[in-house]
Amino acid sequence: MTINQQSILFVDDEQNVLKSLRRLLHDEPWAMFFADSGDKGLEILGKEKIDLIISDVRMPGMDGIAFLKKVKGLYPHIVRIFLSGHADHKAVVQALAEGSAQQLLPKPWKNDELKEVLRGALKQAAALQKKNEGLQKIINSLASLPSMPDTYLKIKECLTNISNVSIDQIADLIEQDTSISAELLRWANSALFGQRHQVDTVKRAVLVLGLDIVEGLVLSESVFGSIAPRAAKGFDLKTFQTHSMACGIT
């Protein structure tokens, strides 16, 4: 593995799946690591620099949901994707909503679709490593920090009582703000999440993005939207906002 080479960790308890991935991706320029359990995946993460993780959901011992949840806590910058034949499983939907993974790929997969998603996720990971200038200039240009937006406070209240609140209720609350709804749909349809079909409802966007990301996007859009675009010369506020949120997402 070279210094600038991007890397992917595949975790699946089925050896034939790992062998299929090796054959399919053998001519790609990435460094690839393979583990047949969550524990072995964590061992690799402790030794290697990983940019992207593709993990099966149903595995003996530590399953994929527990594995990616642990990865999120230890290595929050790594892009995380579920690979599963059980897309309708309630636990998977809940894990996506909680942000344990950013995306779900079906098993069996389509080769072209898998490669497209991997390239998109790695491209985004590479972009996030670049430094973004102008943060201090933006902060210094503010006479005062904006107050916490009402929509964000309402959603935050829902999230603190998530066991008694449904995704439908959160989506209904977000839909009251047109600009925030549009921003969630924009991100849900971005290359980072690699959706093959257009996400056209706020509820679906919430499921694709996960509640952690939704909370951050609502706060970002509300706060940045209240700042007049009068930043330093050559600095684009929208570009900075997009980069900041992308860093937070991964």
Rounded CA-CA distance 65/82 in Å is: 8
- Cβ(61)–Cβ(39) under 8 Å? yes
Axis-axis angle for helices 167-174, 150-160 (nearest 10): 180
CATH code assigned to 135-249: 1.10.3210.10
| Cis bond before residue 229 (omega within 30° of 0) | no
* β pairing state of 31-35 and 52-56: unpaired
Q: How far apart are CA 135 and CA 177, in angstroms?
A: 27
**Domain residue limits, the chain:** 7-128, 135-249
Domain 7-128 has CATH 1.20.1050.10: no
Q: What are phi and psi of 244, to 5 degrees?
A: -60, -45
pLDDT of residue 163: 67
Residue 169: what residue type? Q
Tell me the pLDDT of the chain (250 aa) as tens digits. 677 789 999 999 999 999 999 999 999 999 999 999 999 999 999 999 999 999 999 899 999 999 999 998 898 888 888 888 765 467 777 777 777 887 888 888 889 888 988 988 888 667 655 543 344 454 444 444 445 567 777 877 877 776 677 788 888 888 888 878 888 888 888 876 767 778 889 888 888 887 777 877 777 766 665 554 544 455 455 555 555 555 555 5
pLDDT of 204: 87
